[in-house]
Amino acid sequence: MRTLMKGNEAIGEAAVRAGCRCFFGYPITPQNEIPEYLSGRLPEAGGVFLQAESEIAAINMVFGAAGAGARVMTSSSGPGISLKQEGISFLAGAELPCVIVNIMRGGPGLGSIQPGQADYFQATRGGGHGDYRTIVLAPCSVQEMVDFTYWAFELADRYRSPVLVLADGVLGQLMEPVTLPPELKPDNGNKPWATTGCRGRKRNVIKSLYLNPEELEAHNKKLQEKFGLMQREVNRAEKYRVEDAETVLVAFGISARISMAAVEAVREEGIKAGLLRPITLWPFPEGILQSSLPKAKKVLVVEMSAGQMVEDVKLTVSGKLPVYFYGRTGGLLPSAEEIQTQIKLLEVKVSERSLCQA
Partner 1 sequence: MNGKNVLFIWEYVIREETDVAIKLSDLTHQKELLTGGHRMCAGCGAPIAVRQVLHAVPENAQVVTCCPTGCLEVSTSIYPYSSWRTAFIHSAFENAAATISGVEAAYRALKKKGKIGEDFRFVVFGGDGGTYDIGLQALSGMLERGHRVVYVCYNNEAYMNTGIQRSGATQLGTWTTTSPFGERSAGKAQNRKDLTAIAAAHNIPYVAQAAIHSWRDTVNKARKAFQADGSALLNILAPCHRGWRYPMEETVEISRLATETCIWPLYEVENGKWRLTHKVRQKKPLREYLEKQGRYSHLFRPENEAILEQLQAFTDQQWEQLLLRCGETTES
β-pair partners for 175: 6
Q: How many CB atoms within 10 Å of residue 228?
A: 11
Residue 28: C-alpha distances to residues 15, 33, 57, 135 (Å)? 19, 10, 14, 23
Instruction: Report the residue number, 24 or 282, with the smaller CB distance to partner 1.
Output: 24
Residue of 313, 316, 292, 310 whose CA lies nearest to 241 = 292
**Between 170 and 309, CB nearer to partner 1:** 170
Length of the chain: 358
Nearer to partner 1, 54 or 335 (CB): 54
Shortest distance, position 133 Cβ to partner 1, whole Å: 27
Shortest Å, Cβ 40 to partner 1: 5
Footprint on this chain of partner 1 (rule: CB under 8 A): 25-29, 32, 35-36, 39-40, 43-44, 49, 51, 53-55, 79, 83, 109-110
CA distance 145 to 12: 10
**Least Å from the CB of residue 101 to partner 1:** 16
Rounded least distance, CB 242 to partner 1, Å = 41
Query: Least Å distance between CB 35 and partner 1?
Result: 5
**CB nearer to partner 1: pick between 25 and 327:** 25
DSSP secondary structure letters along 236-292: -EEEES-TT-SEEEE--HHHHHHHHHHHHHHHHTT--EEEEEESEEES--HHHHHTT
d(CA 314, CA 297): 14
Q: Quick one: 53 or 214, whose CB is closer to partner 1?
A: 53
